[in-house]
Amino acid sequence: MKVSVGRLPFRFFVRLVFFQTGALFAAYGLSVGLAGEWFVNHPGILFLVLMGFFSVVSVLMLLRIDQSDDWVSLEQGIQQAESEVAQKAQALTREHEELEALMGAISEAIVAVGASGEPLFFNSRFAVLFGGKDFESRRPRIGEIFRAPDVLDAFNGALREGTPKTAEVRLALGTGAERFYSLSVAPLFRALESTSANREEVSGAIGVFYDITELKRAERIRIEFVANVSHELRTPLTAIKGFSDTVAQDFAAARTEDVGFCLSAIQRNVDRLMSLVQDLLDLSALESGVAIEKQWVDTAEITTRVVSPLQALAKSKNQEIKTEFLAKQVFADPGRLEQVLTNLIQNAIKYVQVGGEIKVQWEHLEKSVRLSVLDNGPGIPHESQARLFERFYRVDKARSREQGGTGLGLAIVKHILQRHGGSARVESAPGKGTQFTCEFPSR
């Protein structure tokens, strides 16, 4: 350790005086005893030698004592600094773990890239969707991760211009499925060290992928719904207008022979419009969460109430409707249950061939009561079964309209079962008949 005399403390000189005085007397007696008469006869030389020797020794000793105090202070300072560094390291580790937990809990995929487009950070959602787990061993550019031009334009634009960019993209995932995303990319900045002014440069960009697949699906359904409603309304309205114009022209020409036919057609199309409007209102009420009033309902009583007015239609096609009641009661809303039975049995009567058979069966399961409507009709193609409960979906559009269907019956059935906490499904194969199954929770 380098020591400057001008910086030595006062205690150093006090120590020097006392130490050197005591050492001098002790050394003098020791020297006389050891050196003999010559030093006794020359006391001045003896004094100078002893003074010089013990001055050097005392200075060295006192310097060592003073330096030992400095080393203690230095050691204490190092220990304190070490403790502070350890505390800061623990705080940084805790913040890093909290940040990782927070980013992992976010449902959106997030990735940060450097100025050259290499990934700097990504959360677990990004790794799951876009294969980020492979990025640890290599550092691909953003252009290697995504091939969609809109994604690359958004990141490159943010890096180049330093302004946020947005885009709607459709991306294929590793599973082969396609999802729609709303991408938001924001630039990252850092201060320039070489300038005194507060200037910044773009150091990277961070992108957030918001999954909007369900929004796109809802938008598609809405567009299809509007188009289907418009078509369903236009068809009977066109017929009503045509027949009413014919009646008006016949009256003007004093012809009445076709008036009855025209009025009958008008009435039939008005009834179709009324059915369509009523089904739309029912569907809207179910989707908006209208309350249902569940109670114990006698399965035989409500089934008979529905089947009786439909027997005439079934007999006109020489069809037989059978019933089986292995469950005596079901916990459901009576009015909504009647709608379910009516829609399912009417559909069976419409599409089962002449001489066919329809069976309505109730049975107990462990935690539910199951209603099944079976027939031996032509069956439903497999590719149509997944969409069968969609609004306005028809397997045979022309035949359905000819028989007066609105295309909403099965959609209403599905929503009624959902409001009861149950489910509805279909099992069918071409040429092997169809079975619609509805399960109502026991309580």
Show Cβ contacts of residue 356 under 8 Å, excluding neighbours closer than 6 positions: 317, 319, 320, 375, 376, 377
Per-residue pLDDT of 96-116, as tens digits, reads 777 777 766 677 888 889 888
The pLDDT of residue 6 is: 46
Helix (H, G, I), strand (E, B) or coil at 81: helix
In terms of pLDDT, which residue wins out, 403 or 6?
Answer: 403
Q: How far apart are CA 417 and CA 412, in angstroms?
A: 9
Angle made by CA atoms 299, 303, 309, in degrees to the nearest 5: 160
The pLDDT of residue 297 is: 94
Over 60: is that where the pLDDT of 4 sits? no
Cα→Cα distances 408→78, 323, 392, 404, Å = 80, 25, 5, 12
The identity of residue 265, as a single letter, is A
The pLDDT of residue 2 is: 45
pTM beyond 0.85: no
Least confident of 148-162, 281-295, 358-372, 426-440: 281-295
Report the share of the chain in percent with pLDDT over 70: 76
Per-residue pLDDT of 357-384, as tens digits, reads 999 999 999 899 999 999 998 888 888 8
DSSP secondary structure letter of residue 118: -
Q: Are 159 and 115 a contacting pair, CB within 8 Å?
A: yes
Least confident of 42-46, 80-84, 376-380, 392-396: 42-46
DSSP secondary structure letter of residue 353: P
Q: How far apart are CA 367 and CA 303, in angstroms?
A: 22
Q: Which has the closest alpha carbon to 204: 252, 155, 170, 241?
A: 155
Structure tokens at 198: 């507060």
According to CATH, the topology of domain 292-443 is Heat Shock Protein 90 (3.30.565)
Helix (H, G, I), strand (E, B) or coil at 201: strand
DSSP secondary structure letter of residue 354: T
In terms of pLDDT, which residue wins out, 285 or 208?
Answer: 208
Over 80: is that where the pLDDT of 119 sits? yes
**CATH code for residues 106-211:** 3.30.450.20
Q: What confidence tier does 393 reach under pLDDT thresholds 50, 70, 90?
A: confident
- The segment with the largest mean pLDDT, out of 24-28, 221-225, 353-357, 398-402, is 353-357
Q: How far apart are CA 157 and CA 164, in angstroms?
A: 8
In terms of pLDDT, which residue wins out, 311 or 177?
Answer: 311
Over 90: is that where the pLDDT of 301 sits? yes
Report the share of the chain in percent with pLDDT over 90: 31
Over 90: is that where the pLDDT of 20 sits? no
- Cβ neighbours around 217 below 10 Å, total: 11
Q: What confidence tier does 217 reach under pLDDT thresholds 50, 70, 90?
A: confident
| Average pLDDT estimate for 69-81 | 72
In terms of pLDDT, which residue wins out, 41 or 442?
Answer: 442
The pLDDT of residue 191 is: 76
- Cβ neighbours around 189 below 10 Å, total: 13
| Average pLDDT estimate for 306-318 | 91
Q: What residue ranges do the domains of the chain occupy?
A: 5-98, 106-211, 213-290, 292-443
The identity of residue 101, as a single letter, is A
Q: What confidence tier does 225 reach under pLDDT thresholds 50, 70, 90?
A: confident
Over 90: is that where the pLDDT of 283 sits? no
Q: Are 434 and 426 a contacting pair, CB within 8 Å?
A: yes
Average pLDDT, the chain: 80
Q: Are 362 and 427 a contacting pair, CB within 8 Å?
A: no
The pLDDT of residue 3 is: 43
| Average pLDDT estimate for 267-289 | 86
Structure tokens at 440: 């109502």
| CATH classification (class only), 213-290 | mainly alpha
The pLDDT of residue 53 is: 58
Structure tokens at 121: 């950070």
The pLDDT of residue 340 is: 94
In terms of pLDDT, which residue wins out, 176 or 249?
Answer: 249
The pLDDT of residue 180 is: 93
Q: How far apart are CA 117 and CA 152, in angstroms?
A: 10
| Average pLDDT estimate for 60-85 | 67
